[in-house]
């Protein structure tokens, strides 16, 4: 029995499958397959998490019916026997790491996009998918499936489960959450059929129960069947009420499923003031839903629930996860993004190394990069996510070198950390009195609580790896050269751009505001990127009268789609005025003169004007050194900047290359 986490880290069963502890890696799409086939990247990804101590892995959403059931081009597929050999390798590497292996099987239904599947999506009914935070878009009206087609898809699910068993998986999870077909059948707004597959709870769950029954026939009692279930569908047209969710849970329990992973579905095109971005999600946020299900099953059956529940949602804190199991809220804890950013998370729990946990900051790039940009998942903390996942096996340096890193932002710290882990002697110089760089301002806008977790992690990593940190030390090119380092890494950041307008000297920058500079009541923010919009939100919550002026037609365009939707909803709820297609032309003592989208000049009254029009790389040190030393690198914002995952990746890559 573990002394600190006796419940969380104790063995337990899901059906006939014994897990070494009660942690379960949630299925998360990575979009890194080769045309649906398991490849080395997929194997590396799951091997790292299995070796990292998790009790069971639910492999990412896997398509049972191509092409109509596809979500992304990189989605795993199991609708044909040709996929079994790769899946066999995948089950083997998970088992070799000590974890149990479950495969999540699914059909995207009306959530599929014509650009991916090459046809009109299908669904229970001809009802278009509403706006999805995750996808960042609504979708075209699907074609309603015929009864015969539904029954064919049911069989495809069951045959997919049989292939998973043949490949050596311990069980499957049937996906009934989000914009996937499983939830669509359960939802009274997505499913408006009047035949045996719709019109009542009993009929709406028929699709799922038929899949479970047939899977049990094909795979036997010793093969675990899990269901990932939306017990409530939130939104203006929510189609699954709490009573519905309890009814569905009762039917699943009666059908003999081996566990239910409890979640909520969510739709809204106007989050207003109510919705929070992932960067402010509470820990173990889905655990209370497990308590609701438990209470509902007890009230409706007269008995204590028999089906194990898997709860979680931002479960990187083992103490909170331990309490959730100890008090009976759930039986297992699912961990999602926490295992993307920290593959050996559960080992860190077990070894008492909680202070080494790399936090998930909730930026959403892992999702956005797949669904919006057609790429693989990326991470703002884990440079190697979907890029090989080999951080745990860094090759030692062939020759120990002295490395000097200039700049203590995220890119600089990552370069220093990796170089030191590989055996180099590393000195890091930071001109300010704290490390963190842009992170020290990025955590100041509202709902960025989890960004505050990153700086302590960076500080701890520098201490653990033995990097010698010199704060409050600006260095000149001559001083750097005098250090006689074998390699020099410049990570000197960027400086805010100031527009060359008449009256520009009257303006302050968004960084000034985030540092706490006072403003007047009427504020005009020039620039509507993520920084400008987040600064406007901060000012709006302070009660200021705020107008954002943006040259393009898009606001917060460099923000992940989910976070962008919520941020713009907040601005609307706060009454922030948004002018797109507008150009600021002059700043007077009490106004900003702008040319609006119609070509007219508009005077915006302003007590304070804020520039948020981007940043210019501060590459002066690199330019001075690049021809004077044979091994000089430029990374992070001083190399052009971009999103946070890019800074981490550049730091990691340089740290590996020295």
Q: What is the DSSP string of 406-468?
A: E--BHHHHHHHHHHHHTT-EEEEEESSSSSBTTHHHHTSSTT-GGGGGHHHHHHHHHHHTT-E
Return the residue matching tokens 């949630």: 26
Q: Does some domain include residue 593?
A: yes
For 400-427, write each residue's pLDDT tens digit. 999 999 999 999 999 999 999 999 999 9
Q: Does some domain include residue 442?
A: yes
Q: Which CATH number fits the domain that encloses residue 303?
A: 3.20.20.70
Strand extents, DSSP E, 113-238: 122-123, 143-144, 171-176, 224-234
Same domain assignment for residues 26 and 159: yes
Same domain assignment for residues 332 and 425: no
Burial class (CB in 10 A: 0-12, 13-18, 19+), 194: exposed
For 194-245, write each residue's pLDDT tens digit. 999 999 999 999 999 999 999 999 999 999 999 999 999 876 667 899 999 9
Distance CA(568)–CA(277), nearest Å, equals: 11
Distance CA(248)–CA(94), nearest Å, equals: 31
Q: What angle do CA 97, 98, 100 make, to 5 degrees?
A: 110
Model confidence at 250: pLDDT above 60 = yes
Annotated catalytic residue: which of 5, 83, 180, 247? 180
Q: Does some domain include residue 314?
A: yes
8 Å CB contact between 584 and 499: yes
Predicted pLDDT of residue 27:
96
Peptide bond before 67: cis, by omega within 30 degrees of 0? yes
Same domain assignment for residues 527 and 635: no
Distance CA(61)–CA(417), nearest Å, equals: 34
pLDDT band at 137 (very low <50, low <70, confident <90, very high): low
Q: Does some domain include residue 382?
A: no
Same domain assignment for residues 141 and 116: yes
pLDDT band at 558 (very low <50, low <70, confident <90, very high): confident
Q: Which CATH number fits the domain that encloses residue 451?
A: 3.40.50.720
Model confidence at 116: pLDDT above 60 = yes
8 Å CB contact between 262 and 211: no
Closest Cα to residue 409, out of 117, 639, 71, 166?
639
Predicted pLDDT of residue 262:
97
Q: Is 180 a catalytic residue?
A: yes
Predicted pLDDT of residue 271:
60
Give the total number of structural domains in the chain.
3
- Give the pTM: 0.94
Model confidence at 247: pLDDT above 70 = yes
Same domain assignment for residues 336 and 410: no
Same domain assignment for residues 327 and 438: no
Same domain assignment for residues 294 and 434: no
For 334-375, write each residue's pLDDT tens digit. 999 999 999 999 999 999 999 999 999 988 888 777 777 777
Model confidence at 514: pLDDT above 90 = yes
8 Å CB contact between 481 and 632: no
Same domain assignment for residues 516 and 548: yes
pLDDT band at 268 (very low <50, low <70, confident <90, very high): low
Lowest average pLDDT, out of 378-387, 467-476, 575-584, goes to 378-387
Q: What is the DSSP string of 268-300?
A: -S--TTT---GGGPPTTTTHHHHHHHHHHHHHH
Model confidence at 505: pLDDT above 70 = yes
Same domain assignment for residues 299 and 416: no
Same domain assignment for residues 538 and 472: no
Same domain assignment for residues 31 and 126: yes
pLDDT band at 187 (very low <50, low <70, confident <90, very high): very high
Distance CA(54)–CA(171), nearest Å, equals: 16
Q: Does some domain include residue 619?
A: no
Q: Does some domain include residue 542?
A: yes
Model confidence at 531: pLDDT above 70 = yes
Same domain assignment for residues 341 and 482: no
142: three-class secondary structure by DSSP: coil
Span 517-523, average pLDDT: 97
For 313-330, write each residue's pLDDT tens digit. 999 999 999 999 999 999
258: three-class secondary structure by DSSP: coil
Write the CA distances from 126 to 66, 115, 351, 352, 615, integer angstroms: 20, 19, 52, 53, 47
Q: Does some domain include residue 387?
A: no
Model confidence at 277: pLDDT above 90 = no
Q: Does some domain include residue 385?
A: no
Q: Which CATH number fits the domain that encloses residue 513?
A: 3.50.50.60
Range of the domain at 423: 397-496+625-657
């Amino acid at each position: 029995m573990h002394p600190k986490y006796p419940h969380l880290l104790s063995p337990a069963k899901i059906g006939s499958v014994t897990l070494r502890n009660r942690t379960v890696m949630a299925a998360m799409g990575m979009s890194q397959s080769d045309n649906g086939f398991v490849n080395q990247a997929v194997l590396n990804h799951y091997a790292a998490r299995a070796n990292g101590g998790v009790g069971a892995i639910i492999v990412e959403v896997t398509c049972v019916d191509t092409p109509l059931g596809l979500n992304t081009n990189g989605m795993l597929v199991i609708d044909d026997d040709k996929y079994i050999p790769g899946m066999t390798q995948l089950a083997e590497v998970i088992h070799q790491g000590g974890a149990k292996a479950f495969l999540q099987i699914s059909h995207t239904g009306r959530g599929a996009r014509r650009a991916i599947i090459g046809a009109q999506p299908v669904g229970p009914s001809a009802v278009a998918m509403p706006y999805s935070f995750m996808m960042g878009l609504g979708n075209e009206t699907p074609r309603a499936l015929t009864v015969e087609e539904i029954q064919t898809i049911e069989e495809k699910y069951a045959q997919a489960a049989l292939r998973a068993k043949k490949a050596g998986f311990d069980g499957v999870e049937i996906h009934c959450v989000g914009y996937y077909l499983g939830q669509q059948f359960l939802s009274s707004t997505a499913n408006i059929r009047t035949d045996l597959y719709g019109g009542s709870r009993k009929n709406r769950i028929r699709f799922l129960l038929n899949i479970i029954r047939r899977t049990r026939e094909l795979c036997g009692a010793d093969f675990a069947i899990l269901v990932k279930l939306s017990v409530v569908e939130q939104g203006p047209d929510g189609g699954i009420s709490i009573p519905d969710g309890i009814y569905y849970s009762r039917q699943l329990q009666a059908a003999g499923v081996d566990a239910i992973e409890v979640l909520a579905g969510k739709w809204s095109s106007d989050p207003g003031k109510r919705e929070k971005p992932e960067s402010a999600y509470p820990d173990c946020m889905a655990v209370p839903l497990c308590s609701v299900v438990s209470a509902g099953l007890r009230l409706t059956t007269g008995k204590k629930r028999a089906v194990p529940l898997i709860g979680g949602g931002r479960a990187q804190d083992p103490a909170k996860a331990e309490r959730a199991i100890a008090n009976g809220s759930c039986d297992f804890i699912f961990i999602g993004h926490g295992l993307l950013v920290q593959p050996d998370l559960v080992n860190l729990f077990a070894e008492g190394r909680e202070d080494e946990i790399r936090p998930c900051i909730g930026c959403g790039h892992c999702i956005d990069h797949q669904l919006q940009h057609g790429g693989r998942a990326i991470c703002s903390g884990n440079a190697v996510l979907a890029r090989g996942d080999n951080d745990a096996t860094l090759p030692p340096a062939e020759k120990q070198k002295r490395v000097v890193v200039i700049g203590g932002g995220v890119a600089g710290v990552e370069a220093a950390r990796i170089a030191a882990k590989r055996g180099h002697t590393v000195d890091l110089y930071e001109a300010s009195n704290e490390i963190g760089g842009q992170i020290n301002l990025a955590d100041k806008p509202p709902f960025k609580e989890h960004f505050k977790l990153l700086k302590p992690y960076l500080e701890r990593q520098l201490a653990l790896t033995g990097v010698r940190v010199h704060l409050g030390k600006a260095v000149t090119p001559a001083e750097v050269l005098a250090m006689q380092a074998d390699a020099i890494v410049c990570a000197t950041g960027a400086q805010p751009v100031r527009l060359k307008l008449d009256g520009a000297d009257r303006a302050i920058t968004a960084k000034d505001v985030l540092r706490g500079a006072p403003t007047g009541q009427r504020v005009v923010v020039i620039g509507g990127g993520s920084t400008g919009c987040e600064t406007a939100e901060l000012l709006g919550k302070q009660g200021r009268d705020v107008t954002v002026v943006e040259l393009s037609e898009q606001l917060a365009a460099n923000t992940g789609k989910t976070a962008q939707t919520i941020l713009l909803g907040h601005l609307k709820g706060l009454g922030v005025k948004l002018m797109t297609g507008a150009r600021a032309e002059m700043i007077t003592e009490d106004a900003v003169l702008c040319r609006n989208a119609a070509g007219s000049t508009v005077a915006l009254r302003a007590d304070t004007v804020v520039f948020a029009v981007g940043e210019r790389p501060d590459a002066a040190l690199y330019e001075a050194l690049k021809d004077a030393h044979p091994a000089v690198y430029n990374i992070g914002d001083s190399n052009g900047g971009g999103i946070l995952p890019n800074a981490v990746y550049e730091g990691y890559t340089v740290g590996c290359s020295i």
